[in-house]
Every structure is written in structure tokens, then in C-alpha cells.
């Protein structure tokens, strides 16, 4: 969650799954997997959905034609995209509705504002600092190519290392770690051609190099 005025009025993707009723009109800030998947869910529930993204296009890192196709198809389903909008503040009016102010304009009338702008590694309160495990400025654990931390006896895999944050990648990293440590077979995690799926509507997937690459 960015540190902007009114952020206390915002929900995240966890809270979005616990809403007692569907949002009448929702602003979703973010252009990645989670933002697009929730936009599709709420659009399917007949909410009025507005997606705000900082970039000119959704799904950075995906093939350009796929990015264009997904945005076009979602727009045809009634989702409104606001591109190159950076959120600056959220305000709540007396009737309880929310307005989102961006670098371009202020749009109001939202029953909910949801931020899907990434996650921080959950590394607080583990005592890592006390034992000397190095972390980067986002709180991700710094590891070498075998997943070993700055402390020889401590290893880390998965999202806490902020490499490629996907479940199958964490499993693959764990497998490589097990071979290295317990199988006496030094194995580096393999990050070439990691498949990725987005459960947007329409759903998409890709593996390997994009056309641009």
C-alpha cells in the first residue's frame, strides 16, 4: 500500500474476498495479475469496474499483442481502463462514497477502492537481523544462486527472496535446495522458460521469450 492520504479507506485482495456484498462501483489500482483477475470477478458480478494503471498498458512483461488483446477484450465486457494514472489520494464524502485522485483527474462515486500494487516479502519478526541475514530495501532475503543467505546455515526459497513470485517456482527452488543440501548434488534453480498463467477473462498464458525479446 503506498503512503498516500486516505489509504485507510482502501482494501487489498484479501479484504476483497471477504466483502459481505458485491461492490456497486469499484476502482482497482494496478495492472498486474491480481488487478485483472479481480476486475474480471467483479465485472462478472455486474459491478461497475474501473482499473487504474501507471503504465500505458496492462501486464508488463507479457507479449505486447497479448497485452493489447486482454485489455481490448476486458473493455468490451464493460471494464473501464484509466492508463498512465498514478494515485495521489483517496477521499471519503459524507454519503460514504470514495473518490480517487490521480495525477490526471479525480473520479468519484466508488463504493470501494482496491489496491493490487504488489506485495512486500513477509520477513518481519523472524529475527533475521539478529542473526545477520542480509535483506534488500524491500525486505526480501538476499540469496546466492543456490538459495543460500548471507548466513551459511540459513537458506531461503519462494516469495521471500523476491525472484519470480509464482508457486511452481517456489516448489522448483525447494527441489533444487533439497538436492543441493541433502542429495549432495549442487543444483541451481532454473529460471529459463517459466510458464505463467493469468486467470483474467479471457485467461492467458505464456512461456519462453516474448516476440519483442
At 65-79, the pLDDT tens digits run 999 999 999 999 999
Which residues are registered as beta bridge partners of 92?
Answer: 98
Please give the pLDDT value at position 210. Answer: 84
CA–CA separation, 141 vs 32, rounded Å? 23
Work out the pLDDT band at 5, boundaries 50, 70, 90: very high
CB 176 within 8 A of CB 183: no
**What pTM does this model have?**
0.88
Averaged pLDDT for residues 94-99: 97
Please give the pLDDT value at position 171. Answer: 97
Write down all domains in the chain, each with its CATH number in brackets: 7-115 (3.50.50.60), 128-195 (no CATH)
pLDDT at 61 over 90: no
Amino acid at each position: 500500500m503506498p503512503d498516500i492520504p486516505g489509504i485507510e479507506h482502501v482494501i487489498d485482495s484479501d479484504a476483497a474476498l471477504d466483502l459481505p456484498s458485491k461492490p456497486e462501483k469499484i476502482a482497482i489500482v494496478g495492472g498486474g495479475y491480481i488487478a485483472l483477475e479481480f476486475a474480471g470477478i467483479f465485472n462478472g458480478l455486474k459491478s461497475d469496474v474501473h482499473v487504474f494503471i501507471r503504465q500505458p498498458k496492462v501486464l508488463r512483461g507479457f507479449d505486447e499483442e497479448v497485452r493489447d488483446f486482454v485489455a481490448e477484450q476486458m473493455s468490451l465486457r464493460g471494464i473501464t481502463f484509466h492508463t498512465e494514472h498514478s494515485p495521489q489520494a483517496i477521499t471519503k464524502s459524507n454519503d460514504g462514497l470514495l473518490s480517487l485522485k490521480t495525477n490526471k483527474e479525480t473520479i468519484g462515486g466508488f463504493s470501494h477502492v482496491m489496491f493490487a500494487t504488489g506485495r512486500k516479502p513477509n520477513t518481519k519478526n523472524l529475527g533475521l537481523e539478529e542473526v545477520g541475514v542480509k535483506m534488500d530495501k524491500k525486505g526480501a532475503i538476499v540469496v546466492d544462486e543456490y538459495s543460500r543467505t548471507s548466513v551459511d546455515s540459513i537458506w531461503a526459497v519462494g516469495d521471500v527472496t523476491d525472484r519470480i513470485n509464482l508457486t511452481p517456482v517456489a516448489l522448483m527452488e525447494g527441489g533444487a535446495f533439497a538436492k543441493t543440501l541433502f542429495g549432495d548434488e549442487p543444483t541451481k534453480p532454473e529460471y529459463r522458460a517459466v510458464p505463467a498463467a493469468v486467470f483474467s477473462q479471457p485467461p492467458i498464458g505464456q512461456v519462453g521469450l516474448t516476440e519483442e525479446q
